Amino acid sequence: MINRELRRYMSLLDKIDKHNVPRHVAIIMDGNGRWAKSRGLDRTEGHKQGAISVRKVVEAATKAKVDYLTLYAFSTENWLRPEEEIQTLMELMVHTVANETGNLIKNGIRLQCIGDIQRLPEKTRDALNRCIEQTSTGKNLTLVLALSYSSRWELTNAARSIAADVKEGLLDPTSITEETVNRYLATRELPELDLLIRTGGDIRISNFLLWQAAYSELYFTDVFWPDFDEESLYKAILDFQKKERRFGKISEQLEKENS
């Protein structure tokens, strides 16, 4: 049974065009609580199972030769959740990061974080910083955790920083372009977002990478995050490869450019 399942996953991986793999994939990991509720379990059990899915998907992304994988792990709005759930999530994050650091190093995976990290508990920040430092030489995949992050927070911060630099005479307001804005975003060191995936059945992007998703392909699935596995990721990538990415142009223009 196990060998048959492995062959099925590999067959999906083998179908992926290695010349057209999305370089940067982002995922809104939704459905942990509903997954637990549907099984009569506490919400925390859904988060624990979701952590297992993170490991599976990170390994699958590495096999598929994705360069950057950004996971929406905790939004600024999530601070409004019950204190007990927030505490459980932070403790789970510390535990997971500590346990997974060795695997990340072994698999050449570099960890980075974006968001209002200073709002995180000191213990959580310390665990993340240790992992970021220890995995800094990873070359196979950059795993980005969006923690205490939202696009409105990011864009507000960017606007403040731009305004401050204009006031100091460091930036000419008439010279501001899209590239200028990009340099002030939390994702300034990341490549363009190619594919945005959301699990859990909702069709919205929930204040996540709003600027970056302007021309990304969107993929929505009813699968709850704890059930999202290697096969699920490969399906999303295969769907991405069916799309014609025109970026405002027409098909005939693309054909001429690629000929």
Annotated catalytic sites, by residue? 30, 78
Which residue ranges are tagged as binding site for substrate? 31-35, 43, 47, 75-77, 79, 81, 198, 204-206
Q: At residue 138, what is the residue type?
A: G
Residue position matching structure tokens 């069916």: 242
Write down the number of H helices and E strands in the chain: 9, 6
Which residues on neighbouring strands pair with residue 28, listed in sequence order?
Answer: 72, 198
| Residue list, annotated binding site | 30-35, 43, 47, 75-77, 79, 81, 198, 204-206, 217
- Dihedral sign (CA 30, 34, 39, 40): positive
Read off the DSSP letter of residue 68. Answer: E
- Packing angle, helices 2-15 and 230-241, rounded to 10: 20
Residue written as tokens 């929406």?
72
Going by the annotation, the residues of the binding site for Mg(2+) are 30, 217
